[in-house]
């Protein structure tokens, strides 16, 4: 504008100069100032004005062009920067218009959803990513969010469940902003997959909740166990004494049965609290599942088909066989209850190798090798609303008296205590799959020998019996004596060590594991066996306070008698320990007390093989 005025001024000056020049020529030459001069003057002025206008316009256009070029350059740099941000962002970027039609789809969006950019551009994002029945609801939700989105420059964050191209559900967290560009609305969203993170958080919350309830339950069950040990142990003496008095014999039978039920309940509670005295060993899970399948086939309704898919090369798992059987049975019974109109139960095994992420996702103890056992049904499925409560103790949807709600909490506790993990997948109306992961067996442990369950056999050896509960100690002493043994009772590890130190001879150390005092039963046994490698040891416990006795301890192979126990079990375990031959280094040489069970087993297998031919 300034330049224009300057040019006009210059032109005006030129007119004035021309006029002055003309006047001067007139004054000097004296010629008349006629029409030609005036016309020349006007023409000169007009030319000057036109010239000024023309120049000014040229200058303006060139300035405008320069500014436009600068703007374009800036816009290009900013677009390149935006593309670079989108490309290098860890989260997926999706741009849509106000109707949800995809305008931009980053490389990460391809990875997250399985849909390529080419496929996604121009399609409706909701159709692409949301399951059919949820689409209308999703659209309505987005419509409600849109005004809010347009009014907040910082955008909004929300969570949603989307569908991967392959059909898997993905839980995402999105942060969206709306922009008005050229009179239309554009929605930019950065989308993050939080499926794994949420699974890990849920596992942690579940673990903390279970830990708290478990502490309480475990403590109570432990006390009950000690009381039950006294009841179940002494009732047989009473029953023996009153066997000729039918009314009293009936009462003792009732007490005995109630105690048995109490023992079963405390065992469930301890198992849930992960404080069950476990005896892990190498297990061939295929064998176990085949046995289970036979049992189910015989007992389940015929409208339930039972299918096994067992990996022939399955590794040995390391877990408590008895507990694993009851865990699998629990899952199978739940499956049956969910298939009242019939269906298919599939039992499958597989080897899996977990990285840290996978191990965390199923709540397993560490990254490594696991044996996977899957129990899948085609039943009712579990509604989403209750899915996170099914492992809670006493949670049941079954009628009163039909379910205690302890089944799954026991399974959960057992699997966790074994260092494994568990996961559940369920779709309402389609069925449920429970998957258990058990650690692969690394060490070779002694296989328990077969014993004759029917006979109670005593002995005359001397037993050092260490037990810190006075009542239990007294009862065990009486029971051991009734089996013919000589007993030296001790109230704790220190007393036991003093007795051994004084040179008192004894053949077997029978000790509780969890005891008050400086040393627990395991440590006491380690110390005694270190002094006398040939010493036989039998542990007892109602409560596995720590992990199973690991490798590296001298008493690792020693047997464990879980509390509460009956006289017959005590007698059998004692004989098994006393009759196990020990080599010079104190390592047990497994020679079973009775080979009858093994022989019978062998003959049974052999004859069925022969039948099969
Ligand atoms: N396979 C399944 N299909 C459908 N729902 C299941 C399945 N497994 C468990 N559930 C649900 O989880 C709840 C808890 O199961 P859990 O085994 O802990 O207890 P319960 O079966 O009810 O009782 P209990 O096992 O003590 O007899 C069940 O009541 C049921 O609602
Ligand atoms: Mg159950």
Identify the CA nearest to 544 among candidates 267, 347, 154, 350: 267
d(C-alpha 545, C-alpha 553), whole Å: 17
Identify the CA nearest to 557 among candidates 519, 596, 594, 529: 529
Tokens of 478: 């009486």
- What confidence tier does 556 reach under pLDDT thresholds 50, 70, 90? low
d(C-alpha 216, C-alpha 218), whole Å: 5
pLDDT at residue 581 in the model? 55
Neighbours of 91 (CB within 10 A): 19
Query: What average pLDDT does the segment 265-278 reach?
Result: 73
Ligand nearest to the CA of 338: 1
Question: Which residue lies with its CA nearest to atom 27 of ligand 1?
Answer: 403
Burial class (CB in 10 A: 0-12, 13-18, 19+), 103: middle
Q: Does residue 271 register a pLDDT over 80?
A: no
Domain spans, the chain = 2-85, 89-193, 198-272, 281-439, 462-598
Q: How far is the CA of 417 from the centre of ligand 1 (A)?
A: 21
Q: Does residue 580 register a pLDDT over 80?
A: no
Q: Which of 80-84, 433-437, 447-451, 528-532 bottoms out in mean pLDDT, i.e. has the lowest?
A: 447-451
Ligand 1: residues with CB < 6 A are 330, 334-335, 338, 377, 379-380, 382, 390, 395-398, 403-409, 432
- What confidence tier does 446 reach under pLDDT thresholds 50, 70, 90? very low
Provide the Cα torsion 294, 295, 297, 303; round to 10°: -150
Highest mean pLDDT among 324-328, 543-547, 583-587: 324-328
CATH number of 281-439: 3.30.565.10
* Local structure of 492: helix, strand or coil: coil
d(C-alpha 317, C-alpha 282), whole Å: 6
CATH fold, domain 89-193, is Beta-Lactamase (3.30.450)
- Which carries the bigger pLDDT value, residue 568 or residue 391? 391
Ligand nearest to the CA of 422: 1
d(C-alpha 110, C-alpha 89), whole Å: 13
Query: What average pLDDT does the segment 275-280 reach?
Result: 73
d(C-alpha 494, C-alpha 547), whole Å: 24
pLDDT, tens digit, 9 for 90 and up, residues 91-123: 999 999 988 999 999 989 999 999 999 999 999
- What confidence tier does 33 reach under pLDDT thresholds 50, 70, 90? low
Burial class (CB in 10 A: 0-12, 13-18, 19+), 71: exposed
d(C-alpha 207, C-alpha 201), whole Å: 10
φ/ψ of 514, rounded to 5, equals: -90, 110
Distance of CA 84 to the CA centre of its chain: 36
pLDDT at residue 377 in the model? 97
pLDDT, tens digit, 9 for 90 and up, residues 204-240: 777 777 777 777 777 788 788 888 888 888 888 888 8
Highest mean pLDDT among 116-130, 134-148, 594-608: 116-130
- Which carries the bigger pLDDT value, residue 273 or residue 418? 418
Atom in ligand 1 nearest the alpha carbon of residue 405: 19
φ/ψ of 417, rounded to 5, equals: -65, -25
In this structure, CATH architecture of domain 462-598? 3-Layer(aba) Sandwich (3.40)
pLDDT at residue 219 in the model? 76
d(C-alpha 498, C-alpha 516), whole Å: 16
Q: What is the largest CA-CA distance in the chain?
A: 171
Question: Which residue lies with its CA nearest to atom 24 of ligand 1?
Answer: 403
Query: What average pLDDT does the segment 300-311 reach?
Result: 93
pLDDT, tens digit, 9 for 90 and up, residues 116-132: 999 999 999 999 999 88
> Residue 274: left if φ>0, alpha if ψ -120 to 50, beta else—which one?
left
Q: Which of 156-170, 392-406, 475-489 bottoms out in mean pLDDT, i.e. has the lowest?
A: 392-406
pLDDT at residue 223 in the model? 80
- What confidence tier does 1 reach under pLDDT thresholds 50, 70, 90? low
Question: Which residue lies with its CA nearest to atom 1 of ligand 1?
Answer: 335
């Amino acid at each position: 504008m300034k330049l224009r005025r300057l040019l006009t001024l210059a032109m005006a000056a030129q007119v004035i100069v021309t006029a002055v020049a003309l006047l001067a020529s007139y004054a000097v030459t004296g010629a008349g100032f006629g029409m030609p001069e005036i016309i020349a003057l006007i023409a000169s002025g007009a030319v000057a004005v036109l010239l000024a206008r023309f120049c000014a316009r040229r200058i303006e256009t060139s300035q405008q062009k320069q500014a436009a070029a600068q703007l374009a350059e800036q816009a290009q740099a900013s677009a390149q920067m935006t593309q670079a941000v989108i490309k290098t962002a860890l989260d997926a970027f999706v741009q849509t218009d106000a109707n949800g039609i995809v305008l931009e789809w980053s490389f990460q969006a391809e990875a997250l959803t399985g849909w390529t950019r080419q496929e996604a551009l121009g399609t409706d994002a909701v159709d692409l990513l949301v399951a059919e029945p949820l689409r209308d609801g999703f659209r309505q939700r987005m419509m409600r969010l849109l005004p809010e989105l347009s009014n907040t420059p910082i955008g909004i964050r929300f969570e949603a469940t989307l569908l991967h191209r392959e059909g898997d559900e993905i839980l995402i967290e999105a942060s969206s902003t709306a922009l008005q560009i050229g009179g239309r609305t554009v929605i930019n969203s950065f989308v993050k997959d939080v499926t794994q993170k949420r699974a890990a958080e849920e596992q942690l919350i579940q673990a903390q909740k279970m830990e708290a309830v478990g502490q309480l339950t475990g403590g109570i069950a432990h006390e009950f166990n000690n009381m039950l040990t006294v009841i179940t142990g002494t009732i047989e003496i009473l029953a023996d004494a009153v066997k000729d008095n039918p009314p009293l014999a009936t009462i003792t039978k009732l007490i005995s049965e109630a105690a048995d039920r109490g023992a079963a309940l405390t065992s469930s509670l301890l198992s849930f609290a992960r404080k069950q005295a476990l005896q892990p060993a190498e297990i061939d899970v295929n064998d176990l599942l085949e046995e289970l399948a036979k049992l189910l086939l015989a007992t389940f309704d015929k409208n339930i088909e039972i299918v096994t898919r067992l990996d022939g090369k399955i590794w040995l798992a390391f877990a408590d066989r008895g507990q694993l059987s009851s865990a699998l049975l629990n899952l199978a019974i739940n499956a049956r209850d969910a298939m009242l109109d019939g269906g298919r139960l599939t039992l499958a095994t597989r080897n899996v190798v977990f990285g840290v992420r996978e191990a965390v996702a199923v709540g397993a103890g560490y990254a490594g090798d696991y044996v996977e056992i899957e129990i899948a049904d085609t039943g009712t499925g579990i509604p989403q609303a209750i899915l996170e409560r099914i492992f809670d103790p006493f949670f049941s949807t079954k009628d009163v008296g039909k379910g205690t709600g302890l089944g799954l909490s026991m399974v959960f506790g057992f699997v966790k205590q074994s260092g494994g993990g568990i996961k559940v997948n369920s779709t309402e109306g389609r069925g449920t799959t429970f998957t258990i992961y058990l650690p692969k067996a690394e060490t070779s442990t002694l296989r328990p020998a077969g014993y004759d369950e029917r006979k109670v056999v005593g002995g005359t050896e001397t037993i050092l019996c260490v037990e810190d509960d006075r009542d239990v100690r007294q009862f065990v002493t009486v029971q051991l004596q009734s089996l013919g043994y000589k007993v030296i009772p001790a109230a704790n590890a220190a007393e036991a060590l003093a007795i051994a130190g004084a040179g008192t001879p004894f053949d077997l150390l029978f000790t509780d594991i969890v005891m008050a005092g400086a040393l627990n039963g395991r440590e006491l046994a380690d110390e005694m066996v270190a002094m006398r490698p040939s010493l036989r040891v039998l542990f007892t416990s109602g409560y596995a306070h720590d992990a199973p006795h690991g490798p590296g301890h001298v008493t690792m192979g020693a047997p464990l008698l879980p509390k509460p126990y009956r006289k017959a079990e005590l007698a059998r375990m004692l004989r098994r320990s006393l009759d196990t031959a020990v080599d010079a280094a104190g390592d047990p040489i497994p020679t079973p007390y009775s080979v009858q069970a093994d022989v019978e087993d062998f003959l049974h297998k052999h004859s069925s093989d022969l039948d099969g031919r």
